Amino acid sequence: MARSNSRQLAIPDAAAQAPPLIRPSAFRAVLISLRPHQWSKNAFVFAALIFAQRLFDPRAVATSVAAFLVFCALSGAVYLVNDIADRKADQLHPLKRMRPIAAGTLSVPTAAAVAVVLGTLAVGAAFALGWRFGVTAAVYLGLMLLYSGPLKHIVILDVLTVSIGFVLRAAAGAIVLDVVFSHWLLVCTTLLALFISLAKRRHELVLLASTAVPHRPILSEYSPYLLDQMIGVVTASTLIAYIFYTISPETIEKFGTNWLGLTIPFPLYGIFRYLYLVHQREGGGSPADLLLTDRPLLACVTLWVIAVVLILYV
């Protein structure tokens, strides 16, 4: 009987140790490190395609898809560099310690080589789509590499840098199509990205508790109260900016309709739902995962897109 209990107790312990011992192939390890489940963030590239009313232009769609793939490759290269820089800190995180580089299933030289090749090819492809788009892509890559280095250790600048990354994606989508980059797109994207970045910081601070600072030293500069204050300001600003955008005379004249205001309930529900998940369900660590796994939030975003397309095109 004692031996049976001993064996049962050993099972969960072995299960906890199993993942680091599973050494996937180099290709699979690289693919995991590229984080394809996070590539949905690059969908900001398609904002200009929709709001420039080019959604049913096959050439514009193909160009936007190519731009999206370029940013997927760029973000993959950045993730590799970031995992290399954070491999020691990631080993202290309950989830990030399973990343291939932190777990030791992908060597640093291999990851660095893939990052260099992927980043170079992506920037080359970006310039092939247009020199202005190429410059934007190169600026994005350079900024994200700086974030993986010193910028992530500077309070407030860390979340601002991540937010600028989203803005550059949206701007690149307009540049590659050679359409006007609306100041409304700049404001709404910046505020929404700030909201997501601050919510992610709060999730890390609450989830890791006493191990938060060893994992990410910059978290010592934040507190849940401070982040809640920032999130409150950004939440209100985001909603107000979107509401003013939909009802502004400029928007009504541009699209020839004042019905865009009917889409206001979607961002209202979406942001409140996100806040609920952050505060009540301890979510927000991975915005992309949250969007894909929370059905109400995914339905809200999908219905918003459908509503916008119907109003602008039908």
**pLDDT for position 99:** 84
* pLDDT exceeds 90 at position 233: yes
**pLDDT for position 168:** 95
Identify the residue with better confidence: 282 or 73: 73
Give CA–CA dist 207/141, Å, rounded. 29
- 29 pLDDT tier (thresholds 50, 70, 90): confident
**Lowest-confidence region among 87-101, 136-150, 226-240, 256-270:** 87-101
Tokens standing for residue 213:
């600072």
* pLDDT exceeds 70 at position 297: yes
- 14 pLDDT tier (thresholds 50, 70, 90): very low
CATH architecture of 30-181: Orthogonal Bundle (1.10)
> Helix, strand, or coil here: 180?
coil
Contacts of residue 121, defined as CB under 8 A and 6 or more positions apart, other chains included, come to 73
| Alpha carbon distance, N-terminus to C-terminus of the chain | 72
CA-nearest of 161, 167, 126 to 144 is 161
Identify the residue with better confidence: 295 or 90: 295
* pLDDT exceeds 70 at position 209: no
| Amino acid (one-letter) located at 65 | V
Using CA atoms, how far residue 20 sits from 82, 104, 177, in Å, is 20, 8, 45
Give CA–CA dist 72/79, Å, rounded. 10
- 13 pLDDT tier (thresholds 50, 70, 90): very low
**pLDDT for position 210:** 58
Query: To the nearest whole percent, how much of the chain has pLDDT over 70?
Result: 88
* pLDDT exceeds 80 at position 211: no
In angstroms and rounded to an integer, the radius of gyration of the C-alpha atoms of the chain is: 21
Task: Decide if 74 contacts 81 (C-beta within 8 A).
Answer: no
Q: What is the 3-state secondary structure (H, E, C) of 13-60?
A: HHHHHHHHHCCCCHHHHHHHHCCHHHHHHHHHHHHHHHHCCCCCCHHH
* pLDDT exceeds 50 at position 20: no
Using CA atoms, how far residue 218 sits from 94, 150, 169, 204, 223, in Å, is 18, 11, 25, 11, 11
**pLDDT for position 208:** 66
**Lowest-confidence region among 4-13, 80-89, 148-157:** 4-13
Using CA atoms, how far residue 109 sits from 30, 80, 116, 137, in Å, is 12, 11, 11, 25
**Lowest-confidence region among 19-23, 142-146, 257-261, 279-283:** 19-23
Tokens standing for residue 252:
């009504």
Torsion (CA) 147, 150, 153, 158 in degrees, nearest 10: -30
Average pLDDT over residues 31-42: 89
Give CA–CA dist 285/21, Å, rounded. 25
Mean pLDDT for the chain?
86
**pLDDT for position 28:** 87
Give CA–CA dist 100/193, Å, rounded. 27
Spell out the domain ranges in the chain. Answer: 30-181, 182-314
**pLDDT for position 16:** 40
Average pLDDT over residues 32-61: 92
* Count of CB atoms situated within 10 Å of the CB of 7: 9
pLDDT digits (tens, 9 = 90+) for 178-189: 998 788 888 999
